[in-house]
Amino acid sequence: MAAMAAVLIVLMAFGMPIGFSLLLGSLAYFLSSGASLNIIIQKMTMTVGDSFSMMAVPFFMFAGAVMNHSGITEQIFGFADKLVGHIRGGMGHANILASVIFAGMSGSAIADTGGLGAIELKAMKSAGYDDDFSLAITGASSCIGPVIPPSVPFVMYGVIAGVSIGSLFMAGVVPGLCMAFAMAVVVWFQAKKRGYEPHPRAGIKEIANCFSHSFWGLLAPVILIGGIVSGVCTPTEAAVVAAVYSLIVSFATHNIKVSDIPSIIDETVKTTAMVMLIASASCVFGWILTVEQIPVHAAAAISSIVPNKIAAILLVNLLFLIVGMFMDGTASIIILTPILVPLMSSYGMNLVHFGVLMTVNVMIGLLTPPVGMVLYVLSGVSGVKVESISKAMVPYIITLIIVVLILSFVPQLVLFLPSLMGAM
């Protein structure tokens, strides 16, 4: 582990891309420990070849690219801007609202960042917003996607912990909206500090015209959520639906031509390859941590020193913040759920409540270096260094930590809707 940590730190200090840094750091571990190098290939191919959920990424990337080229995403973002653009920092608020709308499309923060990110960043830059402000809110708001249903992390947690996935889906709605509201507060204060002026308030007629213009784009998440909730399709199958739907609407409205398809595919392949490399490298890195039993030792240490439920919640949140800096979110859920669920059950904690807290914590991990995948997707689509994005992300990370603490000690915010719907 020492050799891996040293190589990883040195390579990242010299600006090596995170995917290659993780792979070379992992290679140092394998060479120093004598483990078979075949494991690296096996784990990498398992991530991109055997994971049904990961198959959704290229399809949502493709759908996002089609929507960007055809103007559908811009229409939806424009509609969000008409609704909230009159608030100080208007496009930042529109960015958040667009992420809430698209939360029903993928259940994946990475896919939302890749799909919406480019058009949001372009629109905000054209409106005169600074790059660091635009990148930070784009990345932070993408983390709402896997909290508001449908959510791949909720499905994974529910299966492993034996918890109702339907209850988890309903429990994620209010926390997702809380995250959006908290980010909006940060945007307002930052916009005031930077002197960003709001747009004039849009009239009812203007909003109605914009809604009519963007109707087919707004219909996409309705179709996808309806399909998933009704059981017609899985989230991965919904990704295919999104790709096909975006093509049909774009061709029907004559916003793209057949000659545009090669460039759209090229854009999709480049973005997807970057994401898949990071995901594959993170899987190898996570396997090493598992073999060395780092998460197990951390959880065991917590159980030995925790005096009560409140201390347990605080320490588990701290554990996830630390683990999220170095481990992929999927790996965190797979490794830590079987360990922490019995621990939290022993303190009498509701497991639906705990599943929501775990997922929000995992989302924060996507924003924290050195392996926060959202940071690298943003860097890839913008060309801005990860270090600059990470610095700008700090206010949102702090805000989300505060949201986690509120959700931790006010469980009614999480459990209210499932209880109301009779799912508890």
- pLDDT confidence tier of residue 235, bands split at 50, 70 and 90: low
Give the angle subtended at the CA of 265 by the CAs of 113 and 283, to the nearest 5°.
Answer: 50
SS3 117: helix
Q: Which of 102, 101, 187 is nearest to 136 (CA)?
A: 187
Instruction: Compare 339 and 68 and report the one with higher pLDDT.
Output: 339
pLDDT tens profile 79-97: 888 899 889 888 899 989 9
The C-alpha atoms of residue 265 and residue 270 are separated, in whole angstroms, by: 9
Question: Which spans in 162-293 are helix H?
Answer: 165-171, 173-194, 204-213, 215-229, 235-252, 261-291
- pLDDT confidence tier of residue 100, bands split at 50, 70 and 90: confident
Dihedral, CA of residue 170, residue 175, residue 176 and residue 179, to nearest 10: 180
pLDDT cut 70: percent of the chain above it: 86
The C-alpha atoms of residue 153 and residue 358 are separated, in whole angstroms, by: 9
The C-alpha atoms of residue 173 and residue 243 are separated, in whole angstroms, by: 25
Across 277-286, 325-334, 356-365, 372-381, the highest mean pLDDT is recorded for: 356-365
Q: Which of 356, 398, 367, 414 is nearest to 142 (CA)?
A: 367
pLDDT of residue 203: 86
Contacts of 198 (CB under 8 A, 6+ apart): 85, 86, 87, 88, 89, 90, 191
The C-alpha atoms of residue 391 and residue 368 are separated, in whole angstroms, by: 10
User: Does the structure show a pLDDT above 90 at 404?
Assistant: yes
pTM: 0.74
Structural domain spans, the chain: 52-276+291-423
Lowest mean pLDDT among 113-117, 166-170, 398-402: 113-117
Bond into 200 cis (ω within 30): no
User: Does the structure show a pLDDT above 70 at 304?
Assistant: yes
Q: What single-letter amino acid sits at 139?
A: G
pLDDT of residue 106: 56
User: Does the structure show a pLDDT above 90 at 129?
Assistant: no
pLDDT tens profile 38-69: 777 777 776 666 666 567 777 877 877 787 67
User: Does the structure show a pLDDT above 90 at 250?
Assistant: no
pLDDT of residue 350: 93
pLDDT of residue 267: 78
pLDDT of residue 48: 63
Q: Which of 146, 110, 167 is nearest to 352 (CA)?
A: 167
pLDDT of residue 331: 66
User: Does the structure show a pLDDT above 80 at 8?
Assistant: no
Give the angle subtended at the CA of 351 by the CAs of 106 and 103, to the nearest 5°.
Answer: 15
Query: Are 144 and 179 a contacting pair, CB within 8 Å?
Result: yes
User: Does the structure show a pLDDT above 90 at 184?
Assistant: yes
The C-alpha atoms of residue 409 and residue 396 are separated, in whole angstroms, by: 20
- pLDDT confidence tier of residue 361, bands split at 50, 70 and 90: very high
User: Does the structure show a pLDDT above 60 at 423?
Assistant: no
pLDDT of residue 70: 78
User: Does the structure show a pLDDT above 60 at 71?
Assistant: yes
Q: Give the mean pLDDT of the chain.
A: 81
The C-alpha atoms of residue 332 and residue 354 are separated, in whole angstroms, by: 14
Residue 1 per-residue DSSP state = -
Bond into 153 cis (ω within 30): no
Mean pLDDT, residues 22-36 taken together = 80
Mean pLDDT, residues 183-196 taken together = 92
Give the angle subtended at the CA of 30 by the CAs of 27 and 33, to the nearest 5°.
Answer: 145
**What are phi and psi for residue 312, nearest 5 degrees?**
-60, -45
For tokens 């780092």, the residue is: 294
The count of C-alpha atoms lying within 13 angstroms of the C-alpha of 204, restricted to the half-sphere facing its C-beta, is 0
pLDDT of residue 384: 82
Q: 273-277 long-range contacts, Cβ below 8 Å, gap at least 24?
A: 274/19, 274/376, 274/377, 274/380, 275/57, 275/61, 275/110, 275/114, 275/373, 275/377, 276/47, 276/48, 276/54, 276/57, 277/19
Mean pLDDT, residues 273-285 taken together = 74
What six digits make up the tokens of 95?
A: 């960015």
Instruction: Compare 221 and 66 and report the one with higher pLDDT.
Output: 66
User: Does the structure show a pLDDT above 90 at 215?
Assistant: no
